[in-house]
Amino acid sequence: MNYYQDEELKEGANQSSIAEQTLICWTRMQTEAGQPLAKIVHRKNLERQGNGGLFFWGVGNPPAQATRSIAAIRDSIKVVFSKMKSKPKKVDTQPSQTFVWRTYIDTSGAERHLPDNTLVTSRGSQRGKPKKVHYALMCHSESSLELGAGKPFVPSNYRNFTPTAGQVGNSQVTALLQQVADKTEPEGYYEDITANLTGSFWVKLSDPRRLDQDEIDECNQFDSNHLSDWSELVTRLRQGPTVDFSETSAQKTLVF
């Protein structure tokens, strides 16, 4: 089944009009699945090195409506990563369980294995129920990912790339945006990391595996800079049975 059921962004819109838009993807980042942001960036650098510049950045919300159309006609779009202003929530710093995701759905609807050096984790529950879906940005960077305040990012310069072109909401974590202004007044966000979306751009993940506590601790404490150590860890963490989302299984395994 093809996951992407999106319609044209506007009636009568064509590929050439989309190609001419000034677009970026903006995502706000913070502690995730019990792992501090600096640790996440460290492992994404190893992932990037092992995959020839490619890395997958996990996000919680589904792709923007126009993602498939844009990915079909563009090689890349700039993605800006900004630190969240707020502190991480307890559910992110101390999740009751952690999943590792192993496959993704590309723009044609095909399920594909994540690259060998890729590790995308997330908390395993959401609002008291098993987390059945997660998403990721497919990113590429030739240079090392360095976590630090870059130039200011001004959200009010952008609107959502949707038919209504609404303002960027405070609750939006990841969004496809179109630039509409060029104000310079700082709003508390910075281009802390930049890269480019590539491939299918923004994808749905599938085939999750639940990590046990020893595996979670090993992942969180990993600090090697050697790609061979990273590859070995990823291989082990991705091996095992897929999460059983049946009601009986969920009741037995979820702990709150």
Res. 254: pLDDT tops 50: no
pLDDT confidence of residue 8: 40
Six-digit token pair at 107? 């723009």
- Least-confidence region, from 3-7, 16-20, 142-146, 204-208: 3-7
* Whole-number average pLDDT of the chain: 87
pLDDT band at 110 (very low <50, low <70, confident <90, very high): very high
- Maximal CA-CA distance, the chain: 54
- Taking residues 104-129, what's their average pLDDT? 93
In a domain, 7, yes or no: no
In a domain, 218, yes or no: yes
In a domain, 6, yes or no: no
**123 exposed, middle or buried (CB, 10 Å; 0-12, 13-18, 19+)?**
buried
pTM score, whole prediction: 0.87
- Taking residues 175-202, what's their average pLDDT? 94
pLDDT confidence of residue 129: 86
In a domain, 2, yes or no: no
Number of domains composing the chain? 1
Res. 201: pLDDT tops 60: yes
In a domain, 157, yes or no: yes
In a domain, 210, yes or no: yes
Rounded Cα gap, residues 63 and 45, in angstroms: 24
Res. 51: pLDDT tops 90: yes
Whole-number percent of the chain with pLDDT over 70: 88
In a domain, 3, yes or no: no
Dump strand ranges (E) for 67-214: 77-83, 98-105, 111-113, 120-123, 125-126, 129-130, 134-140, 152-153, 158-160, 174-179, 189-190, 193-211
Residue that wins the pLDDT comparison between 193 and 14? 193
Residue that wins the pLDDT comparison between 247 and 237? 237
**38 exposed, middle or buried (CB, 10 Å; 0-12, 13-18, 19+)?**
exposed
In a domain, 252, yes or no: no
Give the CA count within 13 Å in the CB-facing half-sphere of 80. 21
CA 21, 148, 171, 138 dihedral sign is positive
| Domain limits for position 119 | 21-245
